[in-house]
Copies of this chain bind each other. A is one copy, B any other.
Amino acid sequence: MHASPFTLHPQLLKDCFTLGDLELCRVLLMNNRLFPWVILVPRRPSLCEITDLTQKDSLKLMEEMVFVSRAMQTITHAQKMNIAALGNVVPQLHVHIIARFEKDAAWPRPVWGHGSEPYALEEGQTLAGKLQQALALTLTT
């Protein structure tokens, strides 16, 4: 009699490394070395819009957006953070948190549609490790 459990959309699973879970969100690192790019996915079933969250969860999402954004600013020394919930292609509610630089591949345009380039193994592991440490994440899934 339980609602369907949370499962990650297969496209997100394919495009990202899983870093771990915060209280509300699964934290993913997009496998794209062109932009330091984290994705937060609230671990609730059947969400498409921010308005689908309970009020309590929506406030928790903001807290986690701020927490992750601060960590990325500290780690990457970003010149600007871009934060967005779009979902036109992958319908599962997810929030992009992207560190931007005036010299990055898309500046000043948004990053979507600018292609991707996978991390070299060590490079991806290093950034993933720094983020896991800053966010106190451990992989349990």
Say whether A49 contacts B113, CB under 8 Å.
no
Count contacts on A: residues with CB < 8 A to the other chain: 33
A90-124: which residues lie under 8 A (CB-CB) from chain B?
A: 100, 107-110, 112-113
Does any Cβ of B come within 8 Å of A1's Cβ? Answer: no
Q: Please tell me if the beta carbons of A108 and B89 are within 8 angstroms of each other in the complex.
A: yes
Contacts known (A62-B61, A66-B51); A109 close to B81, Cβ less than 8 A: no
Closest to A49 in B: B81
Contact with B along A67-92 (1 / 0, CB 8 A): 00110010000001111111111000
User: CA separation between A64 and B108, bound complex, in Å?
Assistant: 27
A8 CB–B CB distance under 8 Å: no
